[in-house]
Structure 1
Amino acid sequence: MPGARRGCLTVVAIRVTPAADSPVVYTGRPLPAILSSPILESLLAGGVVALTALACWTTWQVVGRTLGPVDAIRAKLAEITVSDLSHRVPEQPGDDEVARLARTANATLDRLERSVRVQHRFASDAAHELRTPIAGLRVDLEDLAMHPRDTDVETAARAALRSADRLESIVADLLLLAQIGTGADLAEPLDLTALVDSEIRDHRPSAAGRPAIEIRSRLTPGVQVRGVPTQLQRLLDGPLDNARRHAAAAVEVELVRDGDRAALTVADDGPGIPLEERERVFERFTRVDTARSRDAGGTGLGLAIAREIAAAHRGTLTIDDSPSGARFTLRLPVLSPPPDGAARDA
């Protein structure tokens, strides 16, 4: 159209009447300059590029801040060696995934350090304590081999068997110590009252050559705990055997519920344990220089095993003050509420 301005238009067509041959009126309006030129496309393209760059930079910063603690954990783990497990990874505050990862890694390192410490102690104890019975066994066998005519074979064989029995006892106790608290055995709900009663019955017969020791018990019925049956039997055997071996005439056993704990006391009327020696008796292979020194043939690990088992079951084993003799007190967490009824006398 002559005189018309070039450019893009917005056109609207409207029929005058609904008839098929109705005239159509067309009207047009030039588009704004920003819509009819490439400026808008350029601005949109520039905005998309800028937003994409901003999103990438933000993502890089967020991921970097998130993975920074992970890299710190990796670097610290790389520094930790078997010879030195005392280091721990840095823990971030909060309860997000990275913080939980750090806490889990440190808990794993704690268990690993305990396991390595147990292994080192096992090797040290075995090397120290097995030397004597092995040497005795070797002397007996060498004497029998070098002087077969002058050696009483039966006597030498019995001496060798005693050394072998002691070796077997020490190895069994050391293996038990290494196993306690590792999770190798599954804990289960147990009736501590029945377990104590059974152990008392097993300890009632007196040792050969010794006067009968009376064991008096007062047990609260239905005290429930959670533990490994074989380990708790060995735990109870330690104080009971110690009291029975050193009692002059009687042993007192009492089991009560004290709040959320079961309290078992084993007291004897023997010579007692000096105050300064009460912690040492729980050490491995400890000999107390008193009238309660270890009987011949013992491994010196009974009370050490008992305390380790108590700790593995979240309990304690201590020696308390007593008017006469020694008084061992074992405390373990209980499961059920205190039952009705009085304690049972035996």
Structure 2
Amino acid sequence: MVLPAGRPVPLNGTAEPGTELTVEFGTQKKGATADKDGKWRITLDPMPASLESRVLRIHALLADAEALLQDVVVGDLWLCAGQSNMNFPLKASVEKQEALEAISTVDVRYFDGQSWMKLTRDNVSGLSAVGVWFAMEMARRQNAPVGFLKIGMGGTGIEAWIPERAFPDSEHGRRMRPLVNDPQVLKAAEEDAADPKVYGQHRLAKWGLARAVPASLYRKLVEPTADLPVRGAVWYQGESNAVPDAPHGEYRLWLKSLVASWRDLLHSPDLPFIVIQLPDYDPGMEENRAAWTRVQNEQAAAAQETDGVWVVETKGLGDPTNIHPKRKKEVGIRAAAAACQHLHLDGANAK
């Protein structure tokens, strides 16, 4: 795993009630006692980023039992989220071979919400191409370990990624609220999941929805990250909101609400957000092209109007005939360059 650098590191666990424990990592040794519910918590002191692989040792004193977590490093953990272009796997990109050769030169770890793995050429191909290139470039620039967690679902609108309480007070926001718990909408979502249809012919389209119910992915995918000490977030979404009938300025409102609600959930009011702008694409009809451009512009506007949010331009990296361009390396690298520039991370050295 990757423990967060430069901040206190909370560690939680369970044991028999009343069990006295010690936790050791590097030069630190901390004690804790499991409470009546068997829960314990200790906090390690802040540590600098380090490429040194160490063991995290948890020892139950009287029972003389211990748990050893191997190959633990100290660095940054980033949350990468969005729809299909964030999900796009490395193996389908044109830079797959280049990534396989580069992965051995950096220390990148992936967290799937349950377990960790260190990335190698044998296990990286199925992961997010943008996430992998972003993490590799962050690790290269900082000479430090980087971990990332990807949450994503293709064909989903931004409305699914925000809690109902944070929906904008707009006509569209007010229209979305009743759909959050509507039995017919929820049933349609279940049927879509069991029997997927071509996008646009899916059952949720009846309500003008993409492939997820409003607020549903916030509950399912975002809320479980609440206690993770993430350094920042990379957001790559908007394709499903580039529709002709969307009110002007609406996506900007939703993106700003998403940033605020995620920052609140992650207990980080200044959490950095890297927003990847939609790449060049020609959806056909003039009204569809206008809608695509509108989302691009509103992504930039939301970033300009919100402290700690930066947009990454993807001009020249799209494919006019493919909504899923296969060039992902430069997208990830540009996102990492933006993060390092704005957070002054270039040239950092791990010990």
Query: Does the pair score TM above 0.5?
Result: no
Q: Which has the higher contact order (CA 8 A, sep 6+)?
A: 2
Structure possessing the higher radius of gyration over alpha carbons: 1
What band does the TM-score fall into relative to the shorter chain?
A: under 0.3
TM-score (norm 1): 0.20
TM-score by length of 2: 0.20
